[in-house]
Structure 1
Amino acid sequence: MSGTMRGVYTNLTEIRRRVFAEVAKIAYDAGGDNAEEGLDSIAHNLRNLPYEIIPGDVATYRESVFLERAIVQERIRLAMGLPLQDLDRPEGVTEGLKKAAVPETYYEAPLVNVIKFACNACEDNVYRVMPNACQGCLAHPCREICPKGAITFKDKKAFIDHEKCIKCGRCASVCPYQAIHHHVRPCADACGMHAIGSDEHGRAEINYEKCVSCGQCLVNCPFGAIADKSQIFQTIMAINAGDEVIAEVAPAFVGQFGGKGNVDKLREAFKDLGFAGMEEVALGADLCTVEEAEDFLKEVPEKIPFMGTSCCPAWSVMAKKEFPDHAGCVSMALTPMTLTARLIRKQHPNAKIVFVGPCSAKKLEAMRRSVKSEVDFVLTFEEMAGMMRAKDIDYTSLAGEGGDFEVASADARGFAVAGGVANAVVNAIHRRHPDREVNVVNAEGLDECRKMMKAAVKGKYNGYLLEGMACPGGCVAGAGTLQAVAKTAGAVKMYAKKSERKNATENAYCDLIPELERPEDGKHGDELVAESTEASVPKK
């Protein structure tokens, strides 16, 4: 699976992050105006924004400065939570602004979008001979092994007839000079759901029946042609309106904005951004751990042969979608995001709750009816960094007031790293049943998750706990992260060790789990899949 661009700060990264920052700044600047004046100010600034981001009349990245601005304009619309423009009729960057400016507005499907005129129409799954590398050797192993006779020699160089080629790859595997290269579209290569194909012009096209919004395509497209919608604008509009807006921050936050898990600095930053409070999602991770531990003890192997963890929505939906007969084998425990939101809402019933994390798929999870009532907005770390940039907040220079999150366990904070969820559940089981043997298998990346499920369905993992993570490396590798995966993983592990509580069962809030559960939480996997796929979300 592709991932070579991750952790490299490119000009595309800068444009993406500047768009978030400028959209946030426009929203904040309009905060003191009355509603109509505020919208006029926002519209004026939005129309000027593509020219501020792409100034002058000389193209820097594309063949035309006009094309560069058009692409930026589409990214601005997506950052506002608006759909891509309909290119068949006149439409501007501000089309739909009035609706988008209402905090309660939720983005319409699809969440992940291809900006067609930004796509390079990359070749996908094609084998080509690199003439400078081919030596025209006498053995001709590529020709001899081809089952369809697709390889001949022209001017002593191998030539592939693509009308005959079945893309088996045997020729590439036997070439002694590695002169035959397998060309793949980077976004498609990164998609573990195999949801990306080509339209009639060869440009990327997403099959939304398959897409689970993991976001790996958008961070692996070297042309910046894929982007997801944001709620950064709606979040700020809620703050401007004077709503009580409370952030719940995912465990992968450590080191994302600089520093080493400085909770006091983060709390001050959120306050400066207009948030009324901030809580740790690892708190809900403790509750999720206890729920999954109890589910495992009750159901494996008496009721179900194995149990998969629930916290990664992309993995969970993929497993239930592609293995419907075993949908019940994926835990129905509420995710940490939802459990934390319900805990916050017990004390702040009228608050707007914002999940801040590394994940695009959490945006899709929050579109489910049963979750949408708890989580009002979902922002990535990258979008949050845009808000800080808009307000000129230098996170590392903030004074802070001292203090840490005081509730969550070390195991819960470890959820952010691959293997951490299963480790937490096993430790919770052993706390109550020290002699219980729990076998674990975990997979990173949806292709590997699929292989794990196939093996489990065949009986290879009977009695096992399965942990699935859509992003290779875990949540620290989510599409909305800011730092290199390995660096963040190390920072999360160090931060987890600071907790005075080591095990989820030590969290006193676990006693509240029965109060947080509702009848709709027990839905069968098929119903959850129906609510969690892009194609099923109705247009409003």
Structure 2
Amino acid sequence: MADMMRGAYTGLAEIRRMVFREVAKLAYADADDDADYRWVDELPYRIIPGDVATYRESVFLERAVVGERIRLTMGLPLQDVDRPARLSEGVAAAARPETYYQPPLINVIKFACNACEEECYEVTNMCQGCLAHPCREICPTGAVTFVDKKAHIDKDACINCGRCASICPYTAIAHRERPCAAACGMNAIASDEWGRAEIDYDRCVSCGQCLVNCPFGAIADKSQIFQVIQAITTGDEVIAAVAPAFVGQFGGRGNVDKLREAFLRLGFCGMEEVAIGADLCTVQEAEYFVDEVPDKLPFMGTSCCPAWSVMAKREFPEHAQCISMALTPMVLTARLIRERHPDAKIVFVGPCAAKKLEARRTSVKSEVDFVLTFEEMAGMMEAKEIDYRQLSGDGSTDFEVASADGRGFAVAGGVASAVANAIHSLHPEREVRVEGAEGLANCRKMLKAAVKGKYDGCLLEGMACPGGCVAGAGTLQPVTRSAGMVRAYAKRSPYKTADEDRYRSQLSMLERSEDRA
């Protein structure tokens, strides 16, 4: 299910942004180690002023939901609503640059949930009570009857096959589906005893598609905005590593100089392009593919999307070795930065919620200190009153490093294309078959077919988000628009394929034995 709200500045998007902005604003303003953080308790009143509700049935509920969003934005857990508590409880412990959020990453704010119905078919008022009654005749369980000349579906007898809806001449039968559950390719969302959404964390891979598809704003992920600003205000060297999907997210058309100026104004000491790491990841995967497929492995799946990688290894453990062990672009870029800035705090800035989960892995924690999404960065820019489009910049139009293929990682199909191009460049005689899937449900279907032998010898690209990284949970713009802008930006690179990257010679130094374990 595609996110229909992406790119529309809805009331929900405004609330999210206001929370990010206000937390960032006060974090910048309050750098005193002895602060008591009482301002946290006042934030809901600043964000939701007055006594008239705008979005929900009462202003008190609005403030309660905003309060929980504030806690999550600061990396804190949701509160227990059945006991007295202050929003600021636990803030002092979280106000340290080295603090990681505590799992789970994706959270349901229960009292914000609309308790939407799970999947079902429902007769609408478009029903004409026609003489043919095709919906009743085709139903395999007898769930459709007619009451007062209108169709009626017995939900206890219905098996949700959808045949009634497909045959109705008036399209009077609607398919109802909980938006968050429909967006979840892991079937990880069910209902609690009150009908509210509940996440099965044994299945969840933190792709974040549920949180951007919930129209009630009841699902949110934890942020590290607060901790990043703490690192900046305490004088640490903080460097941003920006994912290839950045193009157009803050306005403009890939204005690198403006983005660099914005990061400097936010207090960052520098900014690097993660597409460099994408080039190195491409070369790694190309070499692994040539060495291992088909002699050692029947097929190989790409590694850069953490949600896809976790799903594949969790659900197909006997084929876990078929997912490439190449380091992700985020990790490779961080290692490059750390070679030159060993004491820096490195912040990955990108479109992806699952990268926050990846950064918690033991082997990655020492490389990447924080992960922020583009939406969280936009909130930080608003806190410092930075209008990206009005910045002057230094006139530079490019990072002038990464290849077009490396920058293309942000769009579905880009990873596999980059790896195939590198293989053709390094091994012209080698043929490469490529298959790809977008969305975890489709990724699962692709893997099932691969396990049965349909894709022997293939390179498989899995993308958890439909459209690729440009559709990640932390993006701001419509997917098709972002994809077009990324492609246009990629064409400006002086290099076409990843093996032309000048950093390629450092790849062996950046690889470490424990990563292949």
TM, length-normalised to structure 1 = 0.94
Q: How many residues align?
A: 516
User: Structure 1: where are the runs of 5+ without partners?
Assistant: 524-540
Find 2:75's aligned residue among 81, 88, 109. Answer: 81
For the pair 1:118 / 2:133, whether they are aligned, the reply is no
2:30 aligns to what? 30
Distance 1:398 1:6 in 2: 25
Find 1:99's aligned residue among 88, 93, 102. Answer: 93
Query: Are the equivalent residues in 1 in contact too, given 2:438–2:467 (CA < 8 A)?
Result: yes
Distance 2:57 2:495 in 1: 57
Q: Deviations over 1:308-355 (max 9, x none)?
A: 100000111111111111111110000000000011111111110000
Q: CA deviation at 1:7?
A: 2.0
Structure 2 counterpart SS, 1:60: coil
For the pair 1:361 / 2:354, whether they are aligned, the reply is yes
User: 1:40-51 alignment to 2 at 5 Å?
Assistant: 40=36, 43-51=37-45
2:222 aligns to what? 229
User: 1:226-375 alignment to 2 at 5 Å?
Assistant: 226-375=219-368
Q: CA deviation at 1:90?
A: 1.5
2:472 aligns to what? 478
Amino acid at match of 1:447: A
TM, length-normalised to structure 2 = 0.99
Q: CA deviation at 1:45?
A: 2.0
1:436 aligns to what? 430
Distance 2:252 2:153 in 1: 53
Structure 2 counterpart SS, 1:82: coil
Q: Deviations over 1:409-453 (max 9, x none)?
A: 111001001111111101100111223211111111111111111
Q: CA deviation at 1:142?
A: 1.2
Amino acid at match of 1:115: I
Structure 2 counterpart SS, 1:378: strand
Query: Are the equivalent residues in 2 in contact too, given 1:80–1:232 (CA < 8 A)?
Result: yes
Q: Say which is worse superposed, 375-384 or 436-445, in terms of deviation.
A: 436-445
Distance 1:166 1:56 in 2: 48
For the pair 1:175 / 2:168, whether they are aligned, the reply is yes
Distance 2:401 2:144 in 1: 65
Distance 1:165 1:485 in 2: 36
User: 1:84-233 alignment to 2 at 5 Å?
Assistant: 84-130=78-124, 132-233=125-226
Find 2:407's aligned residue among 401, 413, 417. Answer: 413
For the pair 1:398 / 2:416, whether they are aligned, the reply is no
- The structure 1 segments of at least 4 consecutive aligned residues displaced by more than 4 Å after TM superposition are none
2:16 aligns to what? 16
1:504 aligns to what? 498
Q: CA deviation at 1:520?
A: 2.0
Query: Are the equivalent residues in 2 in contact too, given 1:2–1:186 (CA < 8 A)?
Result: no
Distance 1:349 1:372 in 2: 14
The two structures, once aligned, show a CA RMSD in angstroms of 0.9
Q: CA deviation at 1:171?
A: 1.5
Amino acid at match of 2:29: D
Q: Say which is worse superposed, 142-151 or 301-310, in terms of deviation.
A: 142-151
User: Structure 2: where are the runs of 5+ without partners?
Assistant: none
User: 1:452-467 alignment to 2 at 5 Å?
Assistant: 452-467=446-461
1:532 aligns to what? none
Structure 2 counterpart SS, 1:256: coil
Query: Are the equivalent residues in 2 in contact too, given 1:2–1:189 (CA < 8 A)?
Result: no
Q: CA deviation at 1:466?
A: 0.5
Distance 1:255 1:151 in 2: 50
2:7 aligns to what? 7
Find 1:491's aligned residue among 473, 485, 490. Answer: 485
Q: Deviations over 1:149-188 (max 9, x none)?
A: 1111110011111222222222112111111111110000
Structure 2 counterpart SS, 1:288: helix
Structure 2 counterpart SS, 1:127: strand
Structure 2 counterpart SS, 1:508: coil
Distance 2:152 2:189 in 1: 28
Amino acid at match of 2:116: C
For the pair 1:56 / 2:82, whether they are aligned, the reply is no
Query: Are the equivalent residues in 2 in contact too, given 1:20–1:79 (CA < 8 A)?
Result: yes
Percent identical: 74
Query: Are the equivalent residues in 1 in contact too, given 2:381–2:387 (CA < 8 A)?
Result: yes
Q: CA deviation at 1:2?
A: 4.2
Q: CA deviation at 1:88?
A: 2.5
Query: Are the equivalent residues in 1 in contact too, given 2:273–2:402 (CA < 8 A)?
Result: yes
Amino acid at match of 2:201: Y
Query: Are the equivalent residues in 1 in contact too, given 2:2–2:466 (CA < 8 A)?
Result: no
Distance 2:482 2:157 in 1: 47
Q: Deviations over 1:203-231 (max 9, x none)?
A: 00000001011111000000000000000
Q: CA deviation at 1:236?
A: 0.1
Q: Say which is worse superposed, 148-157 or 279-288, in terms of deviation.
A: 148-157
